[in-house]
Structure 1
Amino acid sequence: MTEQGGIVVVPWPGRRLSAREELAGLLAAYHLATEAEKGEAVTDVDALPDRYRAEISDPGTAFAEDAVLLALVGDTAVGCLVMTAPADGRSEVKRLWTDPSVRGRGIASTLLAAAFEQAAESGVKTERLSVWNWRTGAIALYERLGFAVVPSWDARDRLVCMQRAV
């Protein structure tokens, strides 16, 4: 557990069902916002690609091997982050999202700090992530935390790949 300024980051608590709904809501918001930013006309979860709907409908299965962190303010989940299971000394940060109504309070930084701590404890040597190039605020945050742009491992246009040593 990590705590900073009233923000508590916990592993998806026992993957309990009540937190599943909160996580699903955060994931839905993340995917809907991303599709809108791409210019896709997606108005609800049912119109999302299958792989994203699967994450939202059953995050326990979608992220069975991964670490899922939730940021809580009080009893309310306001952010999430998925860190893939370590492979070949590295792990990938995915699905970092904070509720827009609480941005600017350090939630993303707190989630990332908790993920980095967990990665180090798991023997991970390199953290990596990909981010859309229009998310300039996120890119600036990642650079402040030691991430650097690296050659892409993903062929999608406008995707920036970054990594840092743990």
Structure 2
Amino acid sequence: MTDQREVTVVRWGLPGQSASVQAGLAPLLAAYHLRTQAEKDEAVAGVEALPERYRVEVVDPQAVFAEDTVLLALSGDTAVGCLVVTAPADGRSEVKRLWTDPAYRGQGIAFRLVGAALAHAAENGAGAVRLSVWKWRTGAIALYERLGFAVTESWDGRDQLVCMEHVL
């Protein structure tokens, strides 16, 4: 059974964070990308076989997300969820890489991560937050709708992506 300890949301990469918090992001990103590849029927054996644009996120998230804010959900000192929110561009921020460790699902972690991302975006001058989600991730789509996101015209040419936006 999963420990039901309180979960907190923090910014990742801040000075003074413990080594376990710093190291906690890469495994979450790896799980996210490996699962996504499998869901697209493009499963790979491990991180080293991910497409380069995804592999580099796992290997060097500090560099890849240098201009973004990475939020981590922590249970104690253990990273159990993550989300990336971009700096506003043209009045919009974007949410990406939302992932909760399967052992911790059902505890409202994704809800808290997205809520923290919306607050962060508003504090940094964004008028809206957008995201894209694979159409088969119906649970995520339902969560986003509960949080006020609405389906919008696609800005991404990839098939099977649902684009959504939340006006702040």
Shorter chain as normaliser: what TM range?
over 0.9
* Alpha-carbon distance in structure 2 between the residues aligned to 1:97 and 1:48: 17
Aligned pair 1:80/2:47, yes or no? no
Structure 2 partner of 1:6 = 6
State whether residues 80 and 111 of structure 1, in contact with CA within 8 Å, keep that contact through their aligned partners in structure 2: yes
Structure 1 partner of 2:133 = 131
- Secondary structure at 1:41's aligned position in 2? coil
Identify which of 32, 35, 38 aligns with 1:36. 38
Give the superposition deviation at 1:71. Answer: 0.2
Give the superposition deviation at 1:41. Answer: 2.7
Q: Any gaps of 5 or more consecutive residues in structure 2? A: none
Aligned-residue identity in percent: 65
Counterparts in 2 of 1:17-166, with a 5 A limit? 18=19, 19-166=21-168
Give the superposition deviation at 1:13. Answer: 4.3
* Alpha-carbon distance in structure 2 between the residues aligned to 1:17 and 1:65: 22
Give the superposition deviation at 1:7. Answer: 1.3
- Secondary structure at 2:44's aligned position in 1? coil
- Name the aligned partner's letter for residue 112 of structure 1: V
- Name the aligned partner's letter for residue 122 of structure 2: A
* Alpha-carbon distance in structure 1 between the residues aligned to 2:162 and 2:91: 21
Q: Any gaps of 5 or more consecutive residues in structure 1? A: none
- Name the aligned partner's letter for residue 68 of structure 1: V
State whether residues 20 and 59 of structure 1, in contact with CA within 8 Å, keep that contact through their aligned partners in structure 2: no
Size of the alignment, in residue pairs? 162
Residues 74-96 of structure 1: per-residue CA shift (max 9 Å, x gap):
11100000001111110000000
State whether residues 132 and 160 of structure 1, in contact with CA within 8 Å, keep that contact through their aligned partners in structure 2: yes
Give the superposition deviation at 1:27. Answer: 0.2
Give the superposition deviation at 1:153. Answer: 0.3
Q: Normalization by structure 2: what TM-score?
A: 0.93
- Secondary structure at 1:56's aligned position in 2? helix
State whether residues 32 and 97 of structure 2, in contact with CA within 8 Å, keep that contact through their aligned partners in structure 1: yes
Q: Name the Cα RMSD after superposition.
A: 1.3
